[in-house]
Amino acid sequence: MPDCVVVENREAVRIVRMNRPDKLNALNTELTQGLLDALVAADADETVRAVVLAGEGRGFCAGADLAEFKDLTPEHQHRVLARADLTCRLQSKLQEMTKPVVSAVQGAAIGGGAGLAISCDMMVAGADLKFGYPELKHDIVPALVMTGLQRQLGRKAAFEMISLGRLVGAEEAQALGLANRVVAADVVIDAALEIAGQWAKANPMAMAAAKSLFYRVADLPFDAAMAAGRDVNALMRGFRRPAR
Residues with a known catalytic role: 135
Beta-carbon contacts of residue 52 (< 8 Å; ≥ 6 apart) = 13, 14, 15, 16, 101, 102, 103, 104, 189, 192, 193, 196
Strands (E), the chain: 5-10, 13-18, 50-55, 101-105, 108-110, 122-126, 130-132, 181-183
Angle between helices 155-164 and 146-153 (to 10 degrees): 140
Beta-carbon contacts of residue 211 (< 8 Å; ≥ 6 apart) = 97, 98, 100, 121
Q: DSSP letter at 27?
A: B
